[in-house]
Amino acid sequence: MNAWVKGGLVLGGLAVGLGTLRRALNPSPRYAPWEKPPYGDFENKVLILGGGFGGYTAARDLCDLIKNRDDVGVLVLAKNNFFTFWPMVPGIVSSDIDARNVAQPLRRALITAGASFRRAEGKKLDLEKKVVVADGGIEFPYDHIVISLGGLPNFFGIPGVEEHSLTMRGVEDAERIRNRVIERFEEVSLIRGEVPESKLTFVVIGGGATGVEVASEIHTLVHENLAPDYPNIDPHRVRIILLEALPNILPELDPALRKAARARMVNQRIEVRTNAMAQEIIENCVKLKGGNNISTENVIWTAGNRPNLGIEADGLPVDERTGIKVDEYLRVEGYQNVWAIGDCAAVADIREGQDGMVVPPTAQAAVQQGHVVARNVLSTIDGREEDLVRFEYKPLGQLVELGSDFAVNEVMGVRFTGLVAAIFWRMAYLVRLNSPQSKVRVAADWIVGLFLRPAVTQIRGTSER
Ligand SMILES: Cc1cc2nc3c(=O)[nH]c(=O)nc-3n(C[C@H](O)[C@H](O)[C@H](O)COP(=O)(O)OP(=O)(O)OC[C@H]3O[C@@H](n4cnc5c(N)ncnc54)[C@H](O)[C@@H]3O)c2cc1C
């Protein structure tokens, strides 16, 4: 075989290989039959309110279960057309991951699975009429509804928190925090005389996983990504303070892991203050219980969550603190066709020793509930009450990342920390992203980040407040 023929065969093989890879990474949508006859024509309309961890999982599972049926239609209604992959949101602060890769396209993933999707904010749930009224007055009828609206920040009525702090409840919030740090660097680089201490002091309130991750990401942003671009600002002048009202940070973790996390932060000169309760926040100061004040213009609030009950619904049984009341099958008390899951639902924890407790608001709990609710909705549609599954939470572990090279993990009773834990953190979450495209993009961000410093530009406008 001459060289030209060999070369042609190699090129042909390469083209076929690339074509196959492209098709695998971009699967065709499964529109039919769900989009073709309008959703309203289905005998059994399942409306899923919310496209986050719980709602998305429920929709995917239901689509799998009804693959060969044409009597059930699934429609997801969510106020954003993207799925927020929460564990990676803090990574946006340091520019470790591009925000657009953390906000994953929901419409594409759902129609590929076989569900319909509409971006709309549910305003009112009419349980009598069996409709959700969305913004613009558009009505979405249902036979079964799964409510999975997630959580909201809880300010516990502390004066000034809402007005003077940034929250961490979404991709936009992470962008705002990042822009705030860059903004302060820009301002300080213009100051000729004494720089007020409050400008470069960043106070993160809440020593849970989100607070710890945010404080660490600010450290990475300042020391690794901003410092080289602002040679006139000594990064060691920046104070990052983590405040926790309880005696320990990461109270849900094993004490050895807590200790490792704290040691790492102290090494990085992040000030960790426990037993420190913020009592009031004013424009340039956090006032602590006991009389101490911290001079700062940059407060980030991560200290509390509450269920999102932001839809008007007469007759829905709710507990303001824990959420929509459901039974062990995730069915809303008093209704056959209304279900609630995730952070907005008060799901009893039926594990031994957890009497009276509700399942914690985590992504893993929402996903497990999504699997169970999909089966239970279909069993109810088919009149197979005996097949209803009770929900029992099975925690798989806890993973907390403190920068790209350190994490503290507990997985099925095994505890580990450091670089290996950070690599495990990345692998564990990478495989959980909802599409092959997202996996490739996030992996690319991380690989490129090993060699190149991210471009830390500040796009001003909506993302600074
Ligand atoms: C910064 C951060 C980091 C986190 N990291 C982790 C982690 O590492 N591991 C972990 O297990 N958990 C983590 N969590 C918790 C986890 O994200 C939640 O427990 C999980 O997302 C709950 O799933 P959900 O479906 O109830 O809500 P979400 O995933 O928040 O989804 C809510 C959905 O409802 C939609 N929605 C809200 N209101 C309306 C409306 N009126 N009309 C229509 N749609 C609406 C939203 O657009 C969204 O699609 C983190 C949380 C935060 C804030």
Kindly tell me if the per-residue pLDDT of 36 is higher than 80: no
150-164, 204-218, 329-343, 436-450, range with the lowest pLDDT: 436-450
Segment 81-116, tens digit of pLDDT: 999 999 999 999 998 888 888 998 899 889 888 899
**φ, ψ of residue 410 in degrees (nearest 5):** -135, 115
Percent of the chain with pLDDT over 90: 74
CA of 9 to the centre of ligand 1 (A): 50
Give the contacts of 16 (CB within 8 A, at least 6 positions apart): none
Kindly tell me if the per-residue pLDDT of 35 is higher than 80: no
Counting Cβ atoms within 10 Å, is residue 147 exposed (0-12), middle (13-18) or buried (19+)?
buried
Using CA atoms, how far apart are residues 208 and 202, in angstroms rounded to an integer? Answer: 17
Atom of ligand 1 nearest to the CA of 121: 42
- Write down the CATH superfamily of domain 39-153+306-395: FAD/NAD(P)-binding domain (3.50.50.60)
Query: Ligand 1 pocket check: which of 53, 61, 84 to mutate, most ligand atoms within 8 Å of Cβ?
Result: 53
Question: What are the structure tokens assigned to 200, written together?
Answer: 């470069």
Kindly tell me if the per-residue pLDDT of 29 is higher than 80: no
pLDDT at residue 18, as a whole number: 86
Q: What is the mean pLDDT of residues 334-355?
A: 94
Question: What are the structure tokens assigned to 274, written together?
Answer: 């426990």
Question: In which element (H, E) is residue 397 found?
Answer: strand 397-401
Kindly tell me if the per-residue pLDDT of 329 is higher than 50: yes
Do 39-153+306-395 and 161-303 come out as alike in CATH topology?
A: yes
Atom of ligand 1 nearest to the CA of 342: 26
Atom of ligand 1 nearest to the CA of 370: 25
Percent of the chain with pLDDT over 70: 95
- Read out DSSP for 124-171? EEETTTTEEEEGGG-EEE-SEEEE---EEE--TT-TTHHHHEEE-SSH
CA of 308 to the centre of ligand 1 (A): 10
pLDDT at residue 7, as a whole number: 87
**CA-CA-CA-CA dihedral for 328, 86, 437, 442, to nearest 10:** -140
Residue nearest to atom 50 of ligand 1 (CA): 86
Class of the domain covering 161-303: alpha beta
In terms of Cα–Cα distance, which of 260, 252, 166, 155 is closest to 214? 166
Amino acid letter, residue 48: I
Cis peptide before 159 (omega within 30 of 0): no
Query: Ligand 1 pocket check: which of 362, 367, 368, 371 to mutate, most ligand atoms within 8 Å of Cβ?
Result: 362
Kindly tell me if the per-residue pLDDT of 463 is higher than 50: no
Query: Ligand 1 pocket check: which of 80, 86, 167, 358 to mutate, most ligand atoms within 8 Å of Cβ?
Result: 86
CA of 238 to the centre of ligand 1 (A): 31
pLDDT at residue 278, as a whole number: 96
Kindly tell me if the per-residue pLDDT of 465 is higher than 70: no
**φ, ψ of residue 222 in degrees (nearest 5):** -70, -55
Q: Angle between the 209-220 and 171-190 helix axes, to the nearest 10 degrees?
A: 40
CA of 369 to the centre of ligand 1 (A): 13
Segment 236-291, tens digit of pLDDT: 999 999 999 999 999 999 999 999 999 999 999 999 999 999 999 999 999 999 98
Q: Which residues line ligand 1 (CB under 6 A)?
A: 49-55, 77-80, 86-87, 89-90, 121-122, 148-150, 168-169, 210, 308, 310-311, 342-344, 361-364, 366
Query: Ligand 1 pocket check: which of 343, 364, 399, 425 to mutate, most ligand atoms within 8 Å of Cβ?
Result: 343
Using CA atoms, how far apart are residues 440 and 452, in angstroms rounded to an integer? Answer: 18
CB distance 95 to 225 below 8 Å? yes
Using CA atoms, how far apart are residues 361 and 351, in angstroms rounded to an integer? Answer: 16
Counting Cβ atoms within 10 Å, is residue 60 exposed (0-12), middle (13-18) or buried (19+)?
buried
Confidence of residue 37 (pLDDT cuts 50, 70, 90): low
Kindly tell me if the per-residue pLDDT of 419 is higher than 50: yes
Residue nearest to atom 52 of ligand 1 (CA): 86
The residues that bridge with 408 in the sheet, in sequence order, are: 400, 417
Residue nearest to atom 46 of ligand 1 (CA): 50
Kindly tell me if the per-residue pLDDT of 341 is higher than 80: yes
Atom of ligand 1 nearest to the CA of 57: 25
Residue 215, CB-side half-sphere exposure with 13 Å CA sphere: 35
pLDDT at residue 32, as a whole number: 44
CA distances 124 to 54, 93, 128, 344, Å, are 20, 34, 12, 16
Q: What is the mean pLDDT of the chain?
A: 92
Confidence of residue 33 (pLDDT cuts 50, 70, 90): very low
Confidence of residue 2 (pLDDT cuts 50, 70, 90): confident
pLDDT at residue 6, as a whole number: 86
Using CA atoms, how far apart are residues 358 and 369, in angstroms rounded to an integer? Answer: 13
The residues that bridge with 272 in the sheet, in sequence order, are: 242
CA of 325 to the centre of ligand 1 (A): 18
Query: Ligand 1 pocket check: which of 149, 250, 369, 426 to mutate, most ligand atoms within 8 Å of Cβ?
Result: 149
The domain locations on the chain are: 39-153+306-395, 161-303, 397-452
Q: Which of the 8 DSSP states describes residue 122?
A: E
**Tokens 């709710």, residue located:** 318
Give the contacts of 284 (CB within 8 A, at least 6 positions apart): 196, 198, 295, 296, 297
Segment 132-148, tens digit of pLDDT: 999 989 999 999 999 99
Kindly tell me if the per-residue pLDDT of 79 is higher than 60: yes
Confidence of residue 455 (pLDDT cuts 50, 70, 90): confident
CA of 70 to the centre of ligand 1 (A): 31
CB distance 116 to 107 below 8 Å? no
CB distance 347 to 326 below 8 Å? yes
Kindly tell me if the per-residue pLDDT of 432 is higher than 70: yes
CA of 169 to the centre of ligand 1 (A): 8
pLDDT at residue 30, as a whole number: 62
CA of 86 to the centre of ligand 1 (A): 7
User: Three-state secondary structure along 339-373?
Assistant: EECHHHEECECCCCCCCCCECCCCHHHHHHHHHHH
